[in-house]
Structure 1
Amino acid sequence: MASSNGGPPPPPPDTPMAAAMDAKLMVATSHGDCQQLKDLLNKQASTSSMVMVLASGNNATVPVANNPFPVAINPLLLASACNGSPKGLDFLLDGKVADGDQRALPFKLESQRFGDLIAAYTSSSNRTLPMQPIPPHNDPEALQALTLLEGMTVDGDTALHAVASNGESDDFQSCAKKICEKGRRELLFKPNKNGDTPLHCAARAGNSQMVSHLINLARGDVGGGTTTTINGSSNNTNGSSSRNRVKELLEMENEFKETALHEAVRIGDNGMVELLMDEDPELASFPKDGTSPLFLAILLEEDTIVETLYNKSNRKLSYAGQKGQNALHAAVHRGTGLTKKIIEWNSNLTIGRDEKGSTPLHFAATKYIDVVLAQLGLMKPFAAMVLNYSRGNVCWHVMEANPAALYHADRDGLYPIHVAASVGAVGSISIFVNKSPSCAGLRDTKGRTFLHVAVQRWQIDVIRYACSNKLLSCILNMQDIDGNTALHLAVKVGSLRMFCVLFGNLQVRLNLMNKNGATPLDISWFKIPRGMYSDQNSEAKIHDSLTLAGARNGSCRLDHFKERYAQENHHDEKAESEKVKDSTQTLAIGSVLIATVTFGATFALPGGYKADDHTNGGTPTLAGRYAFDAFMMANTFAFIFAAIATIGLMYSGSPLFNSKSRKAYLLIALYCMETSVTCLITTFAVGVYMVLSPVARKTAIAICTLSPLVVLCKNQEFWIKWALLACPLYNRMGMFWAICNFVWVVVRNVLYDCWPFIFIFGWAAFAWNS
């Protein structure tokens, strides 16, 4: 056994090796020395910087798989493999150039750059790679090649992996052949750390010629005879043996359970797919329990490859996919064409279930076909057209193949109609109901119908469809496992739009109680928070609407009800204080700004002032006009209310006052702020009219007409929500009471917001007449 660091020779095999040896590279020349070095590794792993074990016996090498320290690949070997350099491999593996001229210098081989690299590596002291020739023993050149080919990259790639990944020209094919000729044809079957063989790498890179070449190498077409020696054994490369080796190579799977066929499918190379399938028609059936090439091709929408896999496999292929899915699960998301093909090839896939128990119909239920029609409320006029169009939908084809799939629940108890409702697929629900109306009453493990699911997922289109379809009137009042109807849930989530759709349907009962004895009115009361809140909130509007429609409370005593309300709506005084504080800081900016603007407008009047040499010099030129008096009064109101709001906000933000006083000051300030904004807009409109009317009357009128939009915008939430409630209240209360109630609400709101107009324009009229 020899050391490459120039030190004294090691002790004989029967003598214990020195524990303090600082070995960088050790070469074992016999089997006994190899075992001795293994013992050294176990004893000196913590003290030695690096140890490389090399055996040069008749057929003995240390297997890489059993070596705890894999040999690093020679950088020059890796460079030659990545660049497809046959001459570089000749020099590194044989110690001579390809044309037999052993006197040629390394840097004369291919390029000056490559030569410089070879010269640098051969001249430097490399302690991890055996650049010096190994002592002769039988065939030192073959042993040198075997040693170099043991090297791997950090990813576990061998030189053959590098060749296969980087090209497919004649030079790269020559490199692959050279590596296999050096007695290491098993490198074709050598996986890297990801389990990829060189064939995987070639297929991933799209090197179809290299794929074909590697297959020929596995078959034994490496030249120089019909037999090849591997690890001392002779294998026949003709007949069944070669076919078995090719089949073994093609069917090797990496750690993701994928063959080279998966890589060909992933890059969309149909020619490579045909090449691989011609070599092994059973390849499309691998893996047995993972993602099949067909499933992958469907996901990638490679229709041509899908056809190739089916035709080349003699209809014997795997339909399996990831997470227990099959090819039909993937096809329903890729359109009608692929769905029809898969069902024609294997209709039994319709009953397949993934790891969550979902069938392909569960997946197909999420497809949309008529959402636009449903949103426009055009379902009834275009029902026939929708039905005809639905015959081209994936749901239709899956149900035609297996009508019972509509009644197949997943592990959560959800049927396809529940899944469709959860994503708002109105078209799919329409197909299901038209095909089998009884499926509308299916319940999940929580006792919910698809209408309950739609309410909880805020799918308003589904709720609108259910309320407009007379076939579904039987489910409107169905109760879940907690006794809640769809109306209970709509009130609980606080959605005014969903509530209006259900509330406007007279078949929806208002006074049904759940298992807690609560009606929708009770729930609406619990949704109103204690403390400060806006009466324009959806929860308050829902409660008011139910009260107007005559809804009743449940079976709970009133005192018990209030006690329970107080417990569930815990009043947090600290949170209320923070709410008042934040509101004060925000509103104070606006009130001060309005007060500043109106104060400035008082002394910068439109039209200017009379000159001092005129009668009443220094007075406004437009004084005495009706519009001027209205302008001054509106500006005064805006300033006064802004000032009052500022004072109220100062008090509401002060911790010296108790909580109730601070809330009262905040409410007063908020109302004064709204009123000051109204007066400020009036000031603007009247001032512009006063200046423009003598010369541009139409423009002045247009500005005065547009200005009130600010006031409407201030109350947009009020008008929008009452517009939503108008039709449901009309259905519930009748025309007379609905109109009376609506008129009262409008008049009350107008007086609440616009009463300053009475004083502004009334005073102007009085002053002008006087």
Structure 2
Amino acid sequence: MILIKIGLEGMVEEMQGKLKEAAVEGNVIALLRLLEEDKFVLDGCAPGCFTETPLHISAMLGHLEFTRKILFRKPEFAKELDFLGSSPLHLAAANGHLEVVRTLLSVNPDMCFAQNLDGRNPLHIAVIKGRVDVLKELVQNKPEAVLHRTTRGETILHLCVKYFQLEALKLLVETVKDYGFINSRDEDGSTVLHLAVADKEIEIISFLIMETEIEVNAMNASGFTALDIALAQGRRNRKDIDVQDSLHQVGAFSSAKDLSSTAHRSEAVRGMISLRSDDHFTSLQTRLRRKYRRRQNYRLGDRRNALMIVASLIATMAFQAGIRPPGGFWQEDLHDQPTSKAHEAGRSIMADKLPAAYNKFVLHNSIAFLASLSVILLLISGLSFKRGLSMWILMGILWVAITESTFTYLISIYCLSSRPQRRAYVCVCGCTHGGDVWVVELSSCWALCPLDCQVSKKVSEAKGSSSFVTVSHSNAVSVNNRSMKNDN
């Protein structure tokens, strides 16, 4: 019974693997073939287990016909959630597959209200990704879904501003013409205008104050208006000036009453903005760091593969040259001849005819063989080679193997050539190899020079930015001190 159970589980896993492969490829023929073999193959995707169904895969990749076939046989798959709480509609909306979205909505339009682990429904995902056509389709089917908030208390309008999606914001404002909707607040009591001013999104600010009924002087939970946030950022560049002028033109005012409250407001708002900027900077820095690490890992993987291939080729060539030296072997024993002509079967002809050259041949070939084997051993040993020094050591060992292989080749050419041609062949091969080495060295130096320049430039920029921050902080402190003296 145990063996039968194991066999059945193996068959089920194999069928599920084929089903997922068909979903990835969008292969309808393969799906129909699997259904002919086992009409319950789709039932193997256990419902309600937060697993990825074939419908999740086809919806994410935009395979329309495959999606239709799955929904025709299993319409309940439209309600299934994966391990992140995302439905097929979430994935189709995120990737902008409009026809797939329409197909899913025709089966179950209520999935517009489904929320993932972050509390985001498909409309939120469409806004974040900037899929305006998909957003329009979703809003037309379930306009009530735009009122849902995320787990952080953000409305869909706040997501538009947070992710710089002006077109999506325009569509939502034109579709849902409601005063309370445009003036909705997040968990910090901030309206979308507060966020837009904090991020200096001048186009969104202009749209909000000119085309909507946004409350320009609304205060957030800390008692700050949008103008408070703008004034706290100063007038350091053209964007700051444009933001403040735009707010002044529509009658925006500050919540501060006197100089002391102005200083307090500036410090508090600056702290709020710095926290928001730090969050953005930290997330951006994290994304850039991850992207850099992935790129470095890809490059390291490519280098490791290249080193493994070259080392394997050199080891193979050195092994073949060792067991089959140039000139071949004696085929028979010959002992009744003078000592100079006597030989044994299986011995190298080159060792008898040119013993000095043969010794050099064996020496260089053995070094090449052992060096390439050491590279292979280090690569397969599982040691970490993420640092550049380790890679350079491996490349140095491989250079030794390549050079020794070149000497082995030169000795072979020398032994196999006639006497008048030996020097010419050896000189040509030696000069060619030397030229290759010089070209590689010059290329490496040429590649390293711009890198050094970039590193120096980044270091100088970092020093300049740190000094700017220090000066700005000292200036802010001096301004606050002067304002406090005036109050006294």
Q: TM-score, normalised by structure 2?
A: 0.50
Once the two structures are TM-superposed, the CA of residue 311 in structure 1 deviates from its matched residue by 2.3
Deviations 1:109-164 (A, max 9, x none): xxxxxxxxxxxxxxxxxxxxxxxxxxxxxxxxxxxxxxxxxxxxxxxxxxxxxxxx
1:327 is matched with: 54
Residue 520 (str. 1) matches residue 226 (str. 2): yes
Residue 466 (str. 1) matches residue 192 (str. 2): no
2:27 is matched with: 302
2:115 is matched with: 409
Once the two structures are TM-superposed, the CA of residue 248 in structure 1 deviates from its matched residue by 5.9
Aligned ranges 1:215-614 → 2 under 5 Å: 252=10, 283=11, 285-286=12-13, 292-317=17-42, 318-319=44-45, 324-333=51-60, 334-368=62-96, 393-471=99-177, 474-528=180-234, 533-534=236-237, 536=238, 538-554=239-255, 558-566=259-267, 569=270
- CA pair 427-473 structure 1, distance change in 2 beyond 3 A: farther
Q: Is the Cα contact below 8 Å between 1:463 and 1:502 reproduced in 2?
A: no
Aligned partner of 2:37: which letter? K
Runs of 5+ unmatched residues, structure 1: 1-239, 253-282, 370-389, 571-658, 664-770
Once the two structures are TM-superposed, the CA of residue 300 in structure 1 deviates from its matched residue by 2.6
Distance 1:559 1:565 in 2: 10
- CA pair 550-425 structure 1, distance change in 2 beyond 3 A: same
Q: Is the Cα contact below 8 Å between 1:367 and 1:428 reproduced in 2?
A: no
Higher helix share: 2
Aligned partner of 1:464: which letter? K
Runs of 5+ unmatched residues, structure 2: 272-470, 476-488
2:455 is matched with: none
Distance 1:353 1:394 in 2: 17
Q: Is the Cα contact below 8 Å between 1:399 and 1:405 reproduced in 2?
A: yes
Distance 2:259 2:7 in 1: 80
Aligned partner of 2:13: which letter? F
Aligned partner of 2:264: which letter? E
Number of residue pairs the alignment of both structures matches: 271
Distance 2:81 2:173 in 1: 32
Aligned partner of 1:311: which letter? E
1:634 is matched with: none
Q: Is the Cα contact below 8 Å between 1:440 and 1:475 reproduced in 2?
A: no
- CA pair 471-336 structure 1, distance change in 2 beyond 3 A: farther
Deviations 1:497-549 (A, max 9, x none): 222222221412211111111111111112337xxx33x1x232111110122
Kindly, what percent of the aligned residue pairs are identical?
25
Aligned ranges 1:194-205 → 2 under 5 Å: none
Distance 2:70 2:251 in 1: 56
Aligned partner of 1:331: which letter? S
Deviations 1:393-421 (A, max 9, x none): 22222222222211121121111111111
Deviations 1:420-477 (A, max 9, x none): 1111111122112211221111111222221111110111221122233354665211
Q: TM-score, normalised by structure 1?
A: 0.33
- Higher RCO (C-alpha 8 Å, min separation 6): 2
Distance 1:354 1:562 in 2: 50
Aligned partner of 1:310: which letter? L
SS in 2 for 1:324: coil
